[in-house]
Amino acid sequence: MITPSDTQKRVRDHDSLSLLLVAPAGCGKTETLAMRIAGLIDRRHVTAPRRVLATTFTNRAKDNLRGRLGDHITSARIRDHITVSNFHGLAARIIRAHGDVAGIDPAIVLPENDWVGEQLQRIGVQYRDRDAVTDILRITKQQALTDNEVAAALDVHGNDTAIALEKQRIAENRATYDDLLRYAELILANDTVANLYRNHFGAVIVDEYQDLTPQQLRVLNRIGEGRITFAGDLAQGIYGFAGASPAEVDATVRAVAVEVIEFNESHRSSPAVLQLVNSLNPLTGGQDLQCADPTSWPNGGVAALVNYADADAEAASIGRLAKFILGRAPNQRVGIISRIKSRLRFVDPVLEATGLPLHRWEDGVLDTDTAKLVRSLLRRLDTVELAAQTDKLTYLRDLAAFDRIEEPDTRKALADALGWVLDRLNEGLDTKQVAARIRVGDQTTLLNAHGVHLLSGHVGKGQQFDWVVVLGAEDGNIPFFLAKSEAEQLEEARILSVMLSRARHGAFVTYSRNVPNASGAPWNRDRSPFWTPLTTSGALTGKAITQWLNDADWDAISRR
């Protein structure tokens, strides 16, 4: 049985249905939300037939919350009293049940994968050019517009590809992920429908509120305004590119919450890591975190700032560091994280050559059946014939006999895998190299695998590693060179904070003076403007880093 802290008890037992929980990374937010839901049911704030609606952003977060609920409430009561859903699932439910009130066909084809991205692949739009189209469609559809109003707005933008894709979508009577929330908002504008959901859900729980778009917040308020518990951390708001507006949403939520309850004790990270994260708080808006049990961390953990002459020297050093750590704590996980995925290209081959278990997160993990289908396709694939195809994605689907597959989950998994294959081939990998990068298992396999993990900052949100190396602390990488406005620069600081806060025992930040450009030409880079605040954290530099590593109690580290 889990013993709640005083702050968790306060949340669990709070009489108001309108709360804001400010809970930074590693502070037990998910556990607290599970306690909160159990408390609402135990105290009969929500009684049958009404239910508690708990919303998350991903299936993994949904499963995580369900798992924590099992520690506090029986499976029968979960089934009878709680609905846990991600936003797309909630919107799909609303469309299927009530689409006709807004002129939407309830039988519309719901998305089973990234249809827009797939069509852009199919018509040969290069990977780097797809964002312009997807951004126009996303921004337009995050307004409460009908299909006709969307079409008119796209005509004003004048992007021919976006206009053509929207016409194709309408002709095929399908919805994309961007359409789901738009349709849900249009449907919930009907007071009769909105009242049905208000009566059905007696309380609403929102995880990671800082990642909400204004549209998602409007949808939630139509269902549960005045009865919503929001939880998250403004300092972790890093999805502005997807339409999230952390500052705006935070201000709106704080204005209506009956009480704001703040957590400041981290159970995830060592004191040294927390000092590094705290040094960015003036930029991120975060609060100073304290270590819940500082004496439990061998040698207090470590934070380090390391300078290199060039990216090759940096890569070689990271390779040695990974071998050193995993040689002493082989069951731990080392995350190598960069703001921009392409910055990892220098360290990737070095880590491959170490022989350490290496996990590239952009490759993902395929289930056994999908892996068999993809490997079979790669053995039979003629890349010369593929290059001659106008519609390469359809060619791959035909070769994989995609249309013969009827089971929805299998279709989605294979559709995603074929898109991944085409992107890797377009990057210049041959079929054997692509096949070698397939990992078999499920999502848990990747999340818990020991060894070295290569990933970008956004992909790492919500994860944790025993050790983190944030590489590439150069201006242009972090902050990203396209981040021009003050708001964008502050979001870049939050991305760095999120990357650092993935670490348990230690975090290392690296800077290279010379980082060759895409063509291989030398390119002198300035330090990230975030380097200066990091230096106030007490992070180690130079020989002190080596000394700490040599003196650390690795037996104790391995056990923690």
Q: What is the pLDDT of residues 294-325, one digit of tens each?
A: 999 999 999 999 999 999 999 999 999 999 99
Instruction: Identify the residue with better confidence: 227 or 24.
Output: 227
Q: What is the pLDDT of residues 246-256, one digit of tens each?
A: 989 999 999 99
Report whether pLDDT(1) > 60.
no
Give the pLDDT score at 67.
86
| 3-class SS of residue 484 | coil
Q: Are 469 and 337 in contact (CB under 8 A)?
A: yes
Q: Give the range among 425-429, 445-449, 489-493 with minimum mean pLDDT.
A: 445-449
| Cα gap 33→70, rounded to integer Å | 12
Q: What is the pLDDT of residues 108-131, one digit of tens each?
A: 999 878 899 989 988 888 877 888
Q: Are 274 and 266 in contact (CB under 8 A)?
A: yes
First-residue to last-residue Cα distance in the chain: 21
Name the strand (E) or helix (H) holding 505.
strand 503-514
Region 195-220: what's the mean pLDDT?
96
Q: Which letter does DSSP use for residue 501 in this model?
A: T
Report whether pLDDT(185) > 90.
yes
Give the pLDDT score at 427.
84
In DSSP notation, 38-101 reads: HHHHHTTSS-TT-EEEEEESSHHHHHHHHHHHTTTS-HHHHHHHEEEEEHHHHHHHHHHHHGGG
Give the pLDDT score at 345.
94
Give the pLDDT score at 22.
94
Q: Give the range among 417-426, 465-474, 526-535 with minimum mean pLDDT.
A: 417-426
Q: Are 136 and 157 in contact (CB under 8 A)?
A: yes
| Cα gap 486→282, rounded to integer Å | 14
Region 461-477: what's the mean pLDDT?
94
Q: Tokens at residue 521, please?
A: 């030409």
**Banded pLDDT at 58 (limits 50, 70, 90):** confident
**Banded pLDDT at 183 (limits 50, 70, 90):** very high
pTM for the model stands at 0.87
Give the rounded distance of the alpha carbon of 213 from its chain centre: 15
Q: Which letter does DSSP use for residue 209 in this model?
A: G
Q: Amino acid identity of 490?
A: L
**Banded pLDDT at 190 (limits 50, 70, 90):** very high
Report whether pLDDT(30) > 70.
yes
Region 340-359: what's the mean pLDDT?
95
Give the pLDDT score at 174.
95
In DSSP notation, 286-353 reads: ----EES-GGGSGGG-EEEEEEEEEHHHHHHHHHHHHHHHHHH-TTSEEEEEESSGGGGGTHHHHHHH
* Residue whose structure tokens are 């607290």: 32
CATH number at 6-90+186-263: 3.40.50.300
Report whether pLDDT(145) > 70.
yes
| 3-class SS of residue 504 | strand
Give the pLDDT score at 473.
97
Q: What is the pLDDT of residues 433-461, one digit of tens each?
A: 999 888 887 656 777 899 999 999 998 88
Q: Tokens at residue 282, please?
A: 């003036």
What's domain 271-362+443-559's architecture? 3-Layer(aba) Sandwich (3.40)
Percent of the chain with pLDDT over 90: 76
Give the pLDDT score at 432.
94
3-state secondary structure 164-180: HHHHHHHHCCECCHHHH
Q: What is the pLDDT of residues 494-526, one digit of tens each?
A: 999 999 999 999 999 999 999 998 888 889 999
Q: What is the mean pLDDT of the chain?
A: 93
Give the pLDDT score at 444.
64
